[in-house]
Chains A and B, each alone.
Chain A
Amino acid sequence: DAGVTQSPTHLIKTRGQHVTLRCSPISGHKSVSWYQQVLGQGPQFIFQYYEKEERGRGNFPDRFSARQFPNYSSELNVNALLLGDSALYLCASRAGMTGGPEAFFGQGTRLTVV
């Protein structure tokens, strides 16, 4: 069984550019959450999507947006990249919208902004 898959694994962008990160949840999972993990810190919640609707949003600027597709895969978009956006972006999936842990994380996308 495939776990949570994210693409790309690494990418380098220039300040001011836009980036799109992708996540495919575990088959049958309808919820996808996005986290930002800056080096040396714990993950920070960005968004949760469930059944293609935003169900939660962390303390991130409007430059960050996301969407979920009918097949439950998701994209995280970041506009006008800043150096401080350099981080590991993690996607987590679960079957239901709420309840219990985020038990299934992808390996992450390492974004470097130069």
Chain B
Amino acid sequence: GESVGLHLPTLSVQEGDNSIINCAYSNSASDYFIWYKQESGKGPQFIIDIRSNMDKRQGQRVTVLLNKTVKHLSLQIAATQPGDSAVYFCAEKEDFTGNQFYFGTGTSLTVIP
């Protein structure tokens, strides 16, 4: 399978601060990227996605940045809240129309009240 990995396995931030979660991928042909949030005992929850023809996409309190030159993806969470505490995964696939996703290992985010 493809190698999709994260720089840091754990991240602790103060409530109200911004969080940045990073992800490196190895397949230069990857065309589509997704961030998921997984809370304990639950399945992954879709947060935001981005296609390779974009370098930035914003959602509600979240921004995904894509740097294809260095094969790096990041998720920024603004004004982090205790409810943001979870494991965050990046996932990618080679083709937007494909059906096989490759997930990274995950970063555990802890928000300190």
Contact = CB atoms under 8 A, between A and B. Distances in A.
B106 A41 contact: yes
A32 B98 CA distance: 14
Interface of A: 4, 31, 33, 35, 40-45, 48, 55-56, 58-59, 90, 92, 97-108
The 3 nearest A-B residue pairs measured at CB: A42-B103, A105-B43, A103-B46
B109 interface: no
A107 B38 CA distance: 10
Contacts, number: 63
B103 A44 contact: yes
Instruction: State which size class the interface on B falls in.
Output: 20 to 34
Nearest to A41: B105
Nearest to B43: A105
B46 A102 contact: yes
